[in-house]
């Protein structure tokens, strides 16, 4: 087996390679003067089980094209099997037609990955579980909840004072999974109304959060508006503190500054998206590594072992 990576998350790729006891495969992924992407594999992959790790994070289109071109290069170089490892699957929020005359871009991206030559996909915390069905190849959706639960337990020995909070109704399944791993702790839901993309208005908190240390859990934090509003609403209901655990730290625009100035005690994100210098310098943002999770999933896939048993 061989592990390769594009330019989106070199740090995670190096960490995963170290976990697997190998080095990242040599590939020249560069751009011509007009920004056209060029890929040259610098080692033999004939008959190999190839894994290409690439988050389709900002700039999403560039990183997506890098992955597609790399997959094509592996296919034309006679790799035995190609697995696209996407710690963060971009375009996942466009998983349905919420209004007329709009695309389902998540399905389009799934088609592109398949047609490029990928044989299977390995990803983490899809925005919507049904996106697995958009692929006509085997797709494993990993979950960051076990990693988050271990981190919470390590820092909060008494889980009886903890309450898990979903920032919206759609995230209840994810929140319930975390609550179950924390000795079936109580669950609350923030009821919000989104007026337009990127903006949200918190309407109500369902559940008694008074006197509790609350943990918001979600898959993506982008502008940070939802988290900040939710934290304020929860504290207004009498909670002791609010900490957020989010898998994918997109954190676009002024999101980091918004988090820094918020009522949140801390925002914990994973390194599914490579943290920027601004994120690393933020006092309220901490990065939780998913190296072991991704590395073990790759190892089990290569050895034809169960991946789902990672979450039993």
Task: Band the pLDDT of 200: cuts 50, 70, 90.
Answer: low
- Long-range contacts of residues 67-72, Cβ cutoff 8 Å, at least 24 apart: 67/6, 67/113, 67/116, 68/112, 68/113, 68/116, 69/37, 69/38, 69/39, 69/116, 70/4, 70/6, 70/27, 70/29, 70/39, 71/113, 71/116, 71/117, 71/118, 72/116, 72/117
**Angstrom distances, CA of residue 275 to CA of 1, 8, 15:** 28, 10, 14
Q: Do 202 and 93 belong to one domain?
A: no
Known catalytic residue: 192?
A: yes
> Annotated binding site for Mg(2+), which residues?
127, 168
Q: Do 6 and 121 belong to one domain?
A: yes
Q: Do 30 and 110 belong to one domain?
A: yes
Tell me: the pLDDT tens digits for 59-89? 999 999 999 999 999 999 999 999 999 999 9
Q: Do 45 and 170 belong to one domain?
A: no
Active-site entry in 2, 192, 237, 284: 192
Q: Do 15 and 102 belong to one domain?
A: yes
Instruction: Tell me the CATH number at 154.
Output: 3.40.50.2020
Task: Band the pLDDT of 120: cuts 50, 70, 90.
Answer: very high
Model's pTM, two decimal places? 0.94
Q: Give the closest residue to 113 by CA, choosing from 35, 45, 56, 58.
A: 56
> Annotated binding site, which residues?
34-36, 93-94, 127, 168, 194, 218, 222-226
Q: Do 285 and 155 belong to one domain?
A: yes
Q: Do 13 and 94 belong to one domain?
A: yes
Q: Do 168 and 72 belong to one domain?
A: no
Q: Give the closest residue to 134 by CA, choosing from 173, 168, 91, 70.
A: 91
pLDDT, residue 98, reads: 84
Domain that holds residue 189: 145-289
Q: Do 138 and 64 belong to one domain?
A: yes
- The span from the CA of 29 to the CA of 269, in Å, is 28
- Mean pLDDT of all residues in the chain? 95
> Annotated binding site for ATP, which residues?
34-36, 93-94
Domains contained in the chain, number: 2
């Amino acid at each position: 087996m061989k592990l390769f990576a594009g330019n989106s998350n070199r740090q995670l790729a190096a960490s995963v390679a170290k976990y697997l006891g190998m080095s990242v495969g040599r590939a020249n992924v560069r751009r011509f003067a007009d920004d056209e992407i060029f890929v040259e594999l610098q080692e033999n992959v004939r008959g190999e089980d190839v894994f290409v790790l690439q988050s389709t994070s900002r700039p999403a289109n560039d990183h997506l094209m890098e992955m597609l071109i790399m997959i094509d290069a592996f296919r034309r170089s006679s790799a035995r099997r190609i697995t696209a490892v996407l710690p963060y699957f971009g375009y996942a929020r466009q998983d349905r037609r919420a209004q007329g005359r709009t695309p389902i871009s998540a399905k389009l991206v799934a088609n592109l990955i398949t047609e490029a030559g990928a044989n299977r996909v390995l990803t983490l915390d899809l925005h919507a579980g049904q996106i697995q069905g958009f692929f006509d190849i085997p797709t494993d959706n990993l979950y960051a909840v076990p990693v988050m639960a271990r981190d919470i337990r390590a820092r909060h020995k008494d889980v009886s004072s903890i309450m898990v909070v979903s920032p919206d109704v759609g995230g209840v399944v994810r929140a319930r999974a975390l609550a179950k791993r924390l000795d079936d702790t109580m669950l609350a839901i923030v009821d919000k109304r989104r007026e337009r993309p990127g903006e949200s208005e918190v309407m109500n908190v369902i559940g008694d959060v008074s006197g509790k240390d609350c943990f918001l859990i979600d898959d993506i934090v982008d502008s940070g508006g939802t988290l900040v509003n939710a934290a304020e609403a929860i504290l207004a209901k009498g909670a002791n503190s609010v900490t957020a655990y989010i898998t994918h730290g997109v954190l676009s625009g002024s999101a980091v500054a918004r988090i820094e100035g918020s009522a949140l005690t801390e925002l914990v994100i994973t390194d599914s998206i490579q943290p920027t210098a601004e994120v690393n310098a933020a006092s309220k943002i901490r990065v939780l590594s998913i190296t072991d999770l991704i590395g073990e999933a790759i190892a089990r896939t290569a050895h034809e072992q169960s991946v789902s048993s990672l979450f039993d």
